[in-house]
Amino acid sequence: MKSFVATTLLPLLLLASCNGEAGTSVPAESEVGARVVALLGDSKFDEVVALLQADFDAGELDSEAARQLALARTGQNELPKAIHVLKTALKADPGEVTMSLDLSRIYSAIGQHKLAFSVLTEAREKGASDLQLALTMGMAKGRLDDLDGAEAEFLRARAAGAPAADVDYNLSLVHRQRGELAEARVLLEGVAKLAPERMSVQRELGIVILQLDPEAVQEVREIAERVLAENDEDWRAWELLGDAEFHAKDYMAAQTYYTSALEFGSKQIGNNPPRVEEKYLRAATLNKQELIEQGVIPEDAGIRKGAAPPIPASVLERQRELQRARDAAEEASEGAEAEDSGGD
């Protein structure tokens, strides 16, 4: 869980300040404020805490500085301390919507969806607008399985002027949860045109395409490989690739790709994604049955991993680029060491 929070939650909190979702951050007016902003940008969270914690404890921080302290605590993975800072600051300034949104996101990240919803409800009661709140409220209702409520919130967000790509993506998730796959696909294809850089949209589109048409294996492979070209540790893309091979009845390949999904998923969220474990076991069982039927292994053999399928070319090229960069860095380092030695 710690790795997940560090790599995904903090950027979301920082992004909320930059895109105007709940109003932009107040510019730093003091030398200390400017330094804190710079330190947060450089991920120097310990230094931010050292600068701000004592003033917070003395009740001398304004709401913006308190939020910066909470961001630093989040960056340190000190979520209980981040929650304490935000709750304390909100008691002093209950109308601060940005902090309410931050607090709700932290609660959601640790699975406390009812608490997240409660924070958002209080923010709405305090006068938060639909532009500030409705999109996040819709996500909160979706996590509580209130799909009708989530859809209503997303439509409120759209009417208030929220970004179309954000609204349509979240609406597509509601449609998919209801089994309205054709509607979900139309929305996702539209979002993919509006924001082609969003790999989460590509992944979701691949899932919907495969559910609509199990024969569209090659199209889904290509989508998964595009995502992996951007990030070869994207466990959901490996899962999608495994799904494609499972539908193609290449159970050995599916098993191997699910293995990668489990490996990278456990790194990101702190444990094996349960649904991937189930898929892995199904693929492994069917792979074993095939090998038994072919006479390759005896009936009493354990589950056999078998040879790995070919790694997508895009992933291989990314790995080569990374290795070339590492080699170049090592050569530069060795050259610098040689110069230092020569100067002694």
**Predicted confidence (pLDDT) per residue in 160-207, tens digit:** 999 999 999 999 999 999 999 999 999 999 999 999 999 999 999 999
Specify the DSSP element, H or E, that contains 5: none
Last residue of a domain, one of 213, 248, 263: 213
Q: Confirm whether 343 is domain-assigned.
A: no
Q: Confirm whether 290 is domain-assigned.
A: yes
- 77 plus 180 within the same structural domain: no
- Angle, helix 181-194 to helix 164-178, in steps of 10 degrees: 160
31: which 2 tokens? 């030398």
Residue 332, number of CB atoms within 10 A of its CB: 10
The four Cα atoms 287, 293, 295, 296 give a dihedral, to 10 degrees, of -10
Q: Which of 149, 197, 195, 133 is nearest to 169 (CA)?
A: 195
Rounded to whole angstroms, how far apart are CA atoms 82 and 103? 8
- 123 plus 133 within the same structural domain: no
Q: What is the pLDDT of residue 23?
A: 35
Give me the CATH number covering residue 88.
Answer: 1.25.40.10
Asked if pLDDT for residue 4 goes beyond 70, the answer is: no
Tell me the CA end-to-end span of the chain in Å, nearest whole number: 48
Q: What is the pLDDT of residue 318?
A: 53
User: Taking the CA of residue 64 as centre, how many other CA atoms within 13 Å lie in the half-sphere pointing to its CB?
Assistant: 15
pLDDT tens-digit series, residues 229-281: 999 999 999 999 999 999 999 999 999 999 999 999 988 877 788 899 999 99
Instruction: List phi, psi (to 5°) of 198.
Output: -85, 105
344: which 2 tokens? 């002694």
Last residue of a domain, one of 110, 128, 146: 128
Last residue of a domain, one of 128, 151, 183: 128
- 248 plus 262 within the same structural domain: yes
- 41 plus 109 within the same structural domain: yes
User: Helix (H, G, I), strand (E, B), or coil: what is residue 233?
Assistant: coil
Check: pTM over 0.85? Answer yes or no.
no
- 149 plus 74 within the same structural domain: no
Report in angstroms the alpha-carbon separations of 16 from 21, 49, 118: 6, 21, 19
How many structural domains comprise the chain? 3
- 192 plus 287 within the same structural domain: no
- 33 plus 118 within the same structural domain: yes
- 78 plus 48 within the same structural domain: yes
* Parent domain of 62: 1-128
Q: Confirm whether 251 is domain-assigned.
A: yes
- 101 plus 162 within the same structural domain: no
19: which 2 tokens? 């895109």
